[in-house]
Amino acid sequence: MLFCSVTEAPGVAAGGPESTREEPPSRNRLNASREVEPVNLPGCRLIKGVEAGSEDIDILPNGLAFLSAGLKSPGIQCFAPEKPGGILMMDLNKDSPRALELRVSRGFDLSTFNPHGISTFIDKDDTVYLFVANHPEFKSTVEIFQFEEEENSLLHLKTVRHELLPSVNDIVAVGPEHFYATNSHYFSDIFLKYLEVYLNLRWTNVIYYSPEGARVVAEGFDSTNGINISPDHKYIYVADSFAHEIHVMEKLANWSLSPVKVLQLDTIVDNLSVDPSTGDLWVGCHPNALKLLIYDPSRPPASQVLRIQNILSETPAVSTVYANNGSVLQGSTVASVYGGKLLIGTLYHRALQCPL
């Protein structure tokens, strides 16, 4: 059975005037008191067909966008508790595309499908693979599908389970069965997950997986989240959410990662998208994660999209492209661009399409 929080939790986030008290470290990491300055983008509209989250978005070079929908996590708000998650698709070449759910081949258990981070890989023979971090019954797997465009469907090829993949948040595919994955927690047990965040153990990591095996390629993070790759495939970008950081690492010939630099931000970073034409990073962010984690509809979580240009330079340019206090869009996790269009997805709310 799928379980998530559908009840309101009024007042739990506040507990008095927050600005007058000194924040304990765990609240600082969650940006507990922070409000967001609105930044509007004219012409945005909510995407039809997304009502209960689209945690991650990945867009193919031909403008077909995959959206992972309906993520459920213990204790986190959800607006469609009985509906399993799914993979939606939008054709961004159309004027006002809907998001339609892709069929999945028989034999794959859709009743417990709980998709989280996603990544696409196009092989030399043009086969398109979709990798999905999945949490069936709150466990952690990576599902590999083949996208069949003619049939608008996904053919399930493989389920990857591994002791080094206890809590996968996002993946970036680098081969037909090869990927880097972030574990947002060291533990898989829900109580121990809370404890490790509270204690700030910094035990989370990045794993490289291939059919030959899996190994840790980077570790010592507070809470790894989004992961992506530069257009020239030389660098891997990793978001460390609660540390408010983006790590740039060089991908070595043996698939190990070598630290290059760390970009410090003042917000909680979730998924990272890369514009293939410019190399810019587009980042879904949470200005105040406490509002995201403890849902109060009268004080909904905000949304924020950052664009980072020239991340490898001495002075990367960081700009806020969109920010909203939750009146339109709550809890943005991802922002992806294609052909002058920006898609913004959320943890459990709706999704937005904006012209750039």
Q: Is 143 in the site for Ca ion (CB under 5 A)?
A: no
Nearer to Ca ion, 179 or 295 (CB): 179
Among this protein's residues, is 116 annotated catalytic?
yes
According to CB under 5 A, which residues from 208 to 237 bind Ca ion?
225
Nearer to Ca ion, 169 or 205 (CB): 169
Buried b (16+ CB within 10 A) or exposed e, 279-305: bbbbbbbbbbbbbbbbbbeebbbbbbb
Least distance (Å) between residue 239 CB and Ca ion: 8
Match 């899996």 to its residue by tokens: 214
Least distance (Å) between residue 129 CB and Ca ion: 13
Judged by CB under 5 A, which of 143, 222, 240, 270 binds Ca ion?
Answer: 270
Phi-psi region of 11 (alpha: psi -120 to 50; beta: other; left: phi over 0): left
Nearer to Ca ion, 56 or 222 (CB): 56
Least distance (Å) between residue 61 CB and Ca ion: 16
Nearer to Ca ion, 204 or 225 (CB): 225
Q: Is 56 in the site for Ca ion (CB under 5 A)?
A: yes
Beta bridge partners of 215: 208
Burial of 41 (0-12, 13-18, 19+ CB in 10 A): middle
Which residues in 77-184 belong to E strands, given as ranges? 86-91, 100-101, 103-104, 115-122, 128-134, 141-148, 153-160, 168-175, 178-183
With CB under 5 A as the rule, give the number of residues binding Ca ion: 8
According to CB under 5 A, which residues from 284 to 343 bind Ca ion?
none
Binding residues for Ca(2+): 55-56, 118, 169-170, 225, 270-271
Q: Which residues of this chain interact with Ca ion, rule CB under 5 A?
A: 56, 117, 119, 169-170, 225, 270-271
Q: Which residues are catalytic?
A: 116
